[in-house]
Amino acid sequence: MHLGRFAAGSFPGIRARYASAAHKKGSAQMNIIGRLLSSDDVVVGLDVPNKLRALQEVAAILERRHNVSQAPVLRALLRREQSGSTGLGHGIAVPHARIADISEPIVLFVRTRSAIDFRAADHEPVSFLFVILVPEHANEEHLKILATVSEMFSSKTFRDRLEAIVEPAAIQRLFSEWTTSGDSSQQTR
């Protein structure tokens, strides 16, 4: 499967390394994103003018919903962005950071009201943010989450379906029902 320019450039080798972590269609288990993302962790229509405000709002939302302190989350996300944009292309960014005071990964999906500049690889503005926070020493699980997200967003069918859905519960369901690339109905481009 071809991941597309944005995924391959952003997460080299991750998807291939953890392809076995994805579950085939019909499996009783849901994918790792489905286990982590609740409909309460889906925000639609966030009205922010730029990347900084988006990350500030994300940190505030995570503090309210997951009781993680806003300031260290924002600092970690900004530090990560300084080392290189998490804007992947196709209107998608995957801000991610390691956080000392959490014991389990936390994810959040945000769709902004208007696309914002994120210095993405394709120079296109971003309206989808998939935020990932992992414990400070989480390596395997962090990579599995990144690999799954990379595979999801490399699918044009998935991106188109995500664009069309407006209800948080339906968006959460779309992430939960994702199956590995063995499903030919989830074409990539």
Enumerate the H helices of 37-167 as residue ranges. Answer: 51-66, 70-83, 140-153, 156-164
Beta strands at 106-116 and 126-135: parallel, antiparallel or unpaired: antiparallel
Length of the chain: 189
Pick the catalytic residue: 23, 90, 96, 142?
96
Q: Which residue has the tokens 């991750």?
A: 14
* Residue 96: active-site member: yes
Nearest to 145 by CA among 188, 86, 110, 96: 96
Contact 118, 151 (CB under 8 A): no
Beta strands at 126-135 and 92-93: parallel, antiparallel or unpaired: parallel
Written as six digits, the tokens of 39 are 């409909």
Q: How far lies 131's CA from each of 62, 73, 87, 181, in Å?
A: 10, 11, 11, 22
User: Catalytic residue positions?
Assistant: 96
